[in-house]
Amino acid sequence: VPEFNSRITLKDVAKKVGVSVNAASKVLNNTRSSGQVSQATRGLILEAARELGYQPHSAARSLVRRRSDVVALYFDRIMDTGEPFTAALIEGAELGCRRRQQSLLLYSRGPEQTVDDACRKLLSGIADGIVTDSWLDIAIMDRLLSAGIPVIQYPESSPRLPCVMVDESTGARQAVAHLAERGHRRFYFRSYPRVDTYRVQSYANAAKSFGIEFSVIPAADGYGFVSDAERELLKLPRDKRPTAAVCWNDEFAFRMVNYCIENNIRIPGELAIVGYDGARTFPEPVVKITTVDVPWTEVASRAVSLLVDVRDGKDVPMETLLPVTLTVGDTT
Amino acid sequence: VPEFNSRITLKDVAKKVGVSVNAASKVLNNTRSSGQVSQATRGLILEAARELGYQPHSAARSLVRRRSDVVALYFDRIMDTGEPFTAALIEGAELGCRRRQQSLLLYSRGPEQTVDDACRKLLSGIADGIVTDSWLDIAIMDRLLSAGIPVIQYPESSPRLPCVMVDESTGARQAVAHLAERGHRRFYFRSYPRVDTYRVQSYANAAKSFGIEFSVIPAADGYGFVSDAERELLKLPRDKRPTAAVCWNDEFAFRMVNYCIENNIRIPGELAIVGYDGARTFPEPVVKITTVDVPWTEVASRAVSLLVDVRDGKDVPMETLLPVTLTVGDTT
DNA sequence: TTGAAAGCGCTAACAC
DNA sequence: GTGTTAGCGCTTTCAA
């Protein structure tokens, strides 16, 4: 019957050796402040601890140390590990915690949880800090900020919090350079419903600097389906029609691939397609897309690392920029 | 500078109202043991807590309550969220925790961590219990068991621990029934390197009861690539050749699909293919496979729920069987 | 109805 | 070198 065997405490270890609790504590923590412990007793304590299978109790330790060595990865929505983006972030956060010897708390706010519930949990001291994305509810952000708990955000910069970003500007430039090299003079961006993103702007700038025509069309439904406006665009006469579709992300790109196949538009002959993210795929896709590869795993692990630094009182930059790379596939 | 504002404690609340700490505690926890608190003071305390934005400190509470309300999802290896299986489990565990008001700790043992490190962390009291899979290191299992910490495993039954399983037997039966209905009289199982799995046995039984020929071939490399033996099998004359390949999982199935396409084997005309898992895909695959759909998300969320029950002293069955369903795609 | 006191297991001042 | 002491913030007897 799973009744916890009564836990072995520091007191047990100390008693076994015949020393005070604090001697044991000092030895087992390698603390050298306030007096040393002799090598002899030191050895005894270490051995006793090992024999007894002593485990420091994390709650007791957190309480007195005033830190838990736990990092929270927080999603201010119901999380979907089916999104490659999310899956990569979780993996990265786990990796980051492992590197920095922290524990990872995964927390996602479901529809049944209020802003208040989230704050309650986030501020209960269960974690030393929080990694979260730029779509964090503003009320939550305010409360975290005023509580003074360390927070690192991604992937969009924020004036109020340190942020891990990816070098979208260079990514866009690389993609556009690649298109220009392939002879494209006109492309459009299949946007997320929002068109005022930094990504759009980056592409606009890149297009400009390469002297290429550029337009933006929001894809339908926020899932990258092809809208009527987009259909029209693709039916324009050859000299007005864009020759490349640059997409908000890989999902949008794959949908475009499907659309082209269904409508007998040759890829990349009639239309080149570029994605974004370098999302992991399953299964192996038939058509490998050209995409801007973003190290999302690294984004999260870096965020964790920065978080630990902040907690430990180190200075961290407000913006950490991670490089992206262009991966050329079959669609350009 | 992210210096924590000094936390608001129960004492602060009590002081503001002018009552004792314990009165505040009783009210805020709705504890009714050992005397009540008058409605008047009750209201005052509640209000003061709200005004001050009081948050109970989780470590302090865990310490005295002797439980943390944290559940650990433990992978005794480096976890790969790119595997749909793993991603689904994480999502399920998160869901389960949300339902049962627990926090989720995600912990994966990297190559740099010893068995001892893992036990240390798992037994530090940071979590009340552990959900983990059947491939847990035996030494770790022993130590968890002897420590008496609640553990729930999946997906294979264990004599020593409660386990959440899927009804592989019925799954196999459904798949084979489906094949038989389509006129297949001979199929083979593309196995994981291990061939002594319950899944293989289930298929063998199902084949037998439907009077169908059945053989097992381990796929290559543990990733479902086609082995030489398998190539030979597929080159047998029509009357000896299996007409269906039933696969260890969807990954194996998709590889088989690719192999068939490359080798001009018509699907399902010349070879039908059946997968296992109902893994989430990205992007949308061109060929939708017929597969045994396993509710992996539900497996994990159920495991969490059982874990909480065990911790709370409730009795749980040693085996919890979750149903699977056959999803028919284009490959049969 | 309320409060004082003990203590969860641990760490870190300080005194011996 | 070593032990004593005082908490960390909270819950829970027990006495008033």
Strands B244-247 and B272-277: parallel
Asked if A58 is an interface residue toward chain B (Cβ–Cβ < 8 A), one would say yes
Give B7's pLDDT tier (boundaries 50, 70, 90): confident
Q: What is the pLDDT of residue B5?
A: 57
Decide: CB of A64 under 7 A of nucleic strand D: yes
Q: How far apart, in whole angstroms, are the C-alpha atoms of residue B197 and residue B189?
A: 12
Decide: CB of B53 under 7 A of nucleic strand D: no
Asked if the peptide bond before residue A237 counts as cis, ω within 30 degrees of 0, the response is no
Give the mean pLDDT of B294-309.
98
Q: Comparing C-alpha atoms, which of A144, A100, A154, A104 is closest to residue A127?
A: A104
Give the mean pLDDT of A157-177.
97
Give the mean pLDDT of B70-79.
98
DSSP state of B226: P
Query: Taking CA atoms, what residue in A is nearest to B109?
Result: A98
Non-local (6+) Cβ contacts of B39 within 8 A are none
Taking the alpha carbons at both ends of chain A, their separation in whole angstroms is: 63
Give the mean pLDDT of B74-80.
97
B61, closest nucleotide (Cα–C1'): D10
Tokens of B215: 């053989």
- HEC readout, B177-216: HHHHHCCCCEEEEEECCCCCCHHHHHHHHHHHHCCCEEEE
The reply to whether residue A108 touches residue B120, judged by beta carbons under 8 angstroms, is no
Asked if the peptide bond before residue A268 counts as cis, ω within 30 degrees of 0, the response is yes
pTM: 0.94
Asked if the peptide bond before residue A193 counts as cis, ω within 30 degrees of 0, the response is no
Q: How far is the CA of A141 from the C1' of D6 (A)?
A: 37
**Closest Cβ–Cβ partner in B3, B108, B283 for A94:** B108
The reply to whether residue B87 touches residue A81, judged by beta carbons under 8 angstroms, is yes
The reply to whether residue B105 touches residue A110, judged by beta carbons under 8 angstroms, is no
Q: How far apart, in whole angstroms, are the C-alpha atoms of residue A201 and residue A207?
A: 10
What average pLDDT does chain B have? 94
Give the mean pLDDT of B156-182.
97
Q: How far apart, in whole angstroms, are the C-alpha atoms of residue A14 and residue B168?
A: 52
| pLDDT tens, position by position, A311-320 | 999 999 999 9
Tokens 């992996």 found at:
B296
Give A33's pLDDT tier (boundaries 50, 70, 90): low
B125, closest nucleotide (Cα–C1'): C9
Q: How far apart, in whole angstroms, are the C-alpha atoms of residue A74 and residue A120?
A: 13
Among residues 278-307 of chain A, which lie with CB inside 8 Å of chain B? Answer: 279-286
| pLDDT tens, position by position, B15-54 | 999 999 989 999 998 887 666 788 888 999 999 999 999 9
Q: Which residue is nearest to nucleotide D9 (CA to C1')?
A: B60
Residue B23 C-alpha from the chain's centroid: 42
Decide: CB of B57 under 7 A of nucleic strand D: yes
Q: How far is the CA of A116 from the C1' of D7 (A)?
A: 31
Q: How far is the CA of B101 from the C1' of D6 (A)?
A: 35
Q: How far is the CA of B69 from the C1' of C5 (A)?
A: 27
Choose the mutation target among A29, A80, A103 for the interface with B, i.e. most B CBs under 10 Å: A103
**b/e code A203-226 from CB counts within 10 Å (16+ = b):** bbebbeebebebeebbbbeeebeb
What average pLDDT does chain A have? 94
A173: enclosing H helix or E strand: helix A168-181
Asked if A90 is an interface residue toward chain B (Cβ–Cβ < 8 A), one would say yes
pLDDT at B289 over 70: yes
Q: Which residue is nearest to nucleotide D7 (CA to C1')?
A: A64
According to DSSP, the residues that pair with A253 across neighbouring strands are none
Q: Can you give the length of chain B in residues?
A: 332
The reply to whether residue B94 touches residue A84, judged by beta carbons under 8 angstroms, is no
C-alpha distance from residue B146 to each of A4, B109, B268 (Å): 9, 20, 52
| pLDDT tens, position by position, A270-323 | 999 999 999 999 999 999 999 999 999 999 999 999 999 999 999 999 999 999
DSSP state of B287: S
CB neighbourhood size of A318 (10 A) = 11
Tokens of A92: 């990265």
Q: Collapsing DSSP states into helix, strand and coil, what is residue A151? A: strand
Tokens of B272: 């039908």
Decide: CB of B52 under 7 A of nucleic strand D: no
Q: How far apart, in whole angstroms, are the C-alpha atoms of residue A138 and residue A115?
A: 10
pLDDT at B242 over 90: yes
Q: Which nucleotides of C are covered by protein (CB under 7 A)?
A: 1-5, 7-15
Distance from CA of B210 to the nearest CA of A (A): 31
Q: What is the pLDDT of residue A277?
A: 97
Q: How far apart, in whole angstroms, are the C-alpha atoms of residue B217 and residue B227?
A: 9
Asked if B114 is an interface residue toward chain A (Cβ–Cβ < 8 A), one would say no
A23, closest nucleotide (Cα–C1'): D2
- B221 vs A62 pLDDT, higher one: A62
Give the mean pLDDT of A154-172.
96
- B108 vs B222 pLDDT, higher one: B108
Q: How far is the CA of A267 from the C1' of D1 (A)?
A: 78
Q: Collapsing DSSP states into helix, strand and coil, what is residue A163? A: strand
According to DSSP, the residues that pair with A321 across neighbouring strands are A165
Q: What is the pLDDT of residue A248?
A: 96
CB neighbourhood size of B191 (10 A) = 21
- HEC readout, A248-307: CCHHHHHHHHHHHHHCCCCCCCCCEEEEEECCCCECCCCCCCEEEECCHHHHHHHHHHHH
Decide: CB of A21 under 7 A of nucleic strand D: yes
Determine what percent of chain A is predicted with pLDDT higher than 70: 98
CB neighbourhood size of B263 (10 A) = 13
C-alpha distance from residue B154 to each of A55, B123, B165, B247 (Å): 27, 20, 6, 20
* Pair A206, A173: CB distance under 8 Å: yes
| Alpha-carbon dihedral sign for residues A95, A100, A106, A107 | negative
Q: How far is the CA of B327 from the C1' of C13 (A)?
A: 67
Q: How far apart, in whole angstroms, are the C-alpha atoms of residue B86 and residue B64?
A: 35
Among residues 3-32 of chain B, which lie with CB inside 8 Å of chain A? Answer: 3-5, 7
Q: Comparing C-alpha atoms, which of B180, B187, B174, B173 is closest to residue B271?
A: B187
Among residues 122-161 of chain A, which lie with CB inside 8 Å of chain B? Answer: 123-126, 146-150
Q: Which residue is nearest to nucleotide C11 (CA to C1')?
A: A64
Q: How far apart, in whole angstroms, are the C-alpha atoms of residue B140 and residue B144?
A: 6
Residues on chain B touching A68 (C-beta within 8 angstroms): 59
Q: What is the pLDDT of residue A221?
A: 85
Q: Comparing C-alpha atoms, which of B255, B316, B301, B20 is closest to residue B154?
A: B301
Decide: CB of B11 under 7 A of nucleic strand D: yes
Give A5's pLDDT tier (boundaries 50, 70, 90): low
Give A179's pLDDT tier (boundaries 50, 70, 90): very high
pLDDT at B2 over 60: no
Non-local (6+) Cβ contacts of B173 within 8 A are B202, B205, B206, B209
Q: How far apart, in whole angstroms, are the C-alpha atoms of residue A139 and residue A136?
A: 8
Give B299's pLDDT tier (boundaries 50, 70, 90): very high
Non-local (6+) Cβ contacts of B262 within 8 A are none
Q: Which nucleotides of D are covered by protein (CB under 7 A)?
A: 1-5, 7-16
Give the mean pLDDT of B110-127.
96
| pLDDT tens, position by position, A138-148 | 999 999 999 99
**Closest Cβ–Cβ partner in B70, B126, B251 for A283:** B251
pLDDT at B10 over 80: yes
The reply to whether residue B282 touches residue A59, judged by beta carbons under 8 angstroms, is no
The reply to whether residue B82 touches residue A282, judged by beta carbons under 8 angstroms, is yes
Tokens 């049944």 found at:
A112
Q: What is the pLDDT of residue B327?
A: 98
Asked if B116 is an interface residue toward chain A (Cβ–Cβ < 8 A), one would say no
| pLDDT tens, position by position, A86-123 | 999 999 999 999 999 999 999 999 999 999 999 999 99
Tokens of A4: 């916890």
CB neighbourhood size of A31 (10 A) = 13
Give B108's pLDDT tier (boundaries 50, 70, 90): very high
Q: How far is the CA of A102 from the C1' of C10 (A)?
A: 19
Q: How far apart, in whole angstroms, are the C-alpha atoms of residue A216 and residue A207?
A: 12
Tokens of B276: 């296992």
CB neighbourhood size of B148 (10 A) = 15
Residues on chain A touching B7 (C-beta within 8 angstroms): 125
The reply to whether residue A59 touches residue B68, judged by beta carbons under 8 angstroms, is yes
Among residues 232-251 of chain B, which lie with CB inside 8 Å of chain A? Answer: 250-251
